[in-house]
Copies of this chain bind each other. A is one copy, B any other.
Amino acid sequence: MRKRIITLGEVMMRFSTPDHERFVQARNYDIQFGGAEANVAVSLAQWHHEVSHICAFPDNDMGKAAIRYLRSTGVDTSHVFLGPGRMGLYFLENGAMQRASKIIYDRFDSVFSHYTGREKDWEQVFEGVDWFHWTGITPAISASAAALCLDILKAANKHGVKVSGDINYRRNLWQYGQSPLDILPELIGYTHVVIAGLTDFANCMDIHESDYIVACEKAREAYPSVEKIATTERGSISSSHNTLKGQLWNGRELLESIEYDMPRIVDRVGGGDAFMAGLIHGLLSKEDNEALEFAVAASVLKHSIPGDVNFVSEDEVDQLVRGENVGKLLR
């Protein structure tokens, strides 16, 4: 069933070196666009939801190219702000074998980092919306981005919109004078489905536990809005070979998905966002355990596709859940 979903977050231009070249070797870069929340938005739009993404771009050709990208995927761009300034960028060097992949971010001082959203009536925007998704990256970027996130969360809650938040703690980001614990607890207080691993619990919710179920229960106590908590477990055998499984705590029990072997990864960036999108889609229409399996299978397929985005159909994910057509040649 088609739902109305809104997402919030910066979309960056992504420059990746081709064919496993290192940064010092590359003479040309492949261009894509990506951002944790927009990656979620695109997956959901592809699965036939009505998705609108809130972000801000420079009012130049790079901003226009980013809008073209979002539009091409079917995501509504009527809440994209254009203003003076620079585009957030990131540079990706794909690793191989034991050699790690590297990302160099160049996103400080971007148009998004200065965007306040004050020109918008967020309450009106959220009328009739079914789901809102944010991540811990947005409040880490700048004080104004954190404030914007809070404004929007309040508006969403007023309209009874279901809210998911991917905590996604990144130590290098928080550079505007606040720590995660200064900011995130209030935001989590407006959130119902949380993606968090033990590191996120510790750094962003001040919950220091080594048992995941106990951590979830403590989170539920501290943040009564939180109904479900999920995470993925990735085994990094090499840059080209990972394993992946997912867990979902639904307030009663901890569900575990099957574990997938991924021995020839094409691009792992966006794998977590594909899981998040799968989980939102699953929770909107399936039982918890089916939702979790859908989320993990979606994430696995993402690893076979170049770029940030999971260009797979709902049908393809369902087939992987059922073990059909795996590695076939479909004619």
Contact surface of A with B, Cβ cutoff 8 Å: 15, 18-31, 60-62, 64-65, 68-69, 71-74, 86-87, 89, 91, 93, 95-106, 108-109, 170, 172, 236-242, 260, 262-266, 268-269, 300-301, 303-307, 311-312, 316, 320, 325-331
Contacts and interface: CB of A to CB of B under 8 A. Distances in A.
A98 B238 contact: no
Given A101-B329, A264-B264, 8 more contacts: A25-B307, A28-B28, A72-B72, A97-B262, A97-B327, A102-B329, A236-B326, A268-B329
Q: Which of A22, A108, A300, A306 has the most CB of B within 10 A?
A: A22
A169 to B, nearest CB: 11
A316 B24 CA distance: 15
Nearest to A316: B99
Nearest to A307: B25
A238 B329 contact: no
Nearest to A269: B329
A325 B73 CA distance: 34
A98 B300 contact: yes
A229 B105 CA distance: 43
Contacts of A102: 61, 329-330
A20 B306 contact: yes
A105 B329 CA distance: 13
A311 B97 contact: no
Contacts of A98: 260, 262, 300-301, 304, 320, 326-327
Given A26-B31, A64-B24, A86-B108, A95 B327 contact: yes
A326 B99 CA distance: 6
A176 to B, nearest CB: 15
Nearest to A86: B106
Contact of A238 (B26, B71, B326): B326
A20 B65 CA distance: 16
Contacts of A62: 23, 91, 104
B263 A97 contact: yes
A61 B96 contact: no
Contacts of A69: 72
B30 A266 contact: no
Q: Which of A27, A69, A316 has the most CB of B within 10 A?
A: A27
Contact of A304 (B30, B97, B266): B97
Given A61-B23, A98-B301, A327 B236 contact: yes
B99 A304 contact: yes
A327 B24 contact: no
8 closest residue pairs by CB, A with B: A72-B72, A23-B61, A96-B304, A238-B327, A99-B304, A240-B264, A97-B304, A236-B327
B329 A22 contact: no
Given A104-B61, A305-B22, A331 B27 contact: no
Contact of A329 (B97, B100, B266): B100
Contacts of A266: 20, 96-97
Contact of A103 (B21, B87, B242, B330): B330
Contacts of A101: 328-330
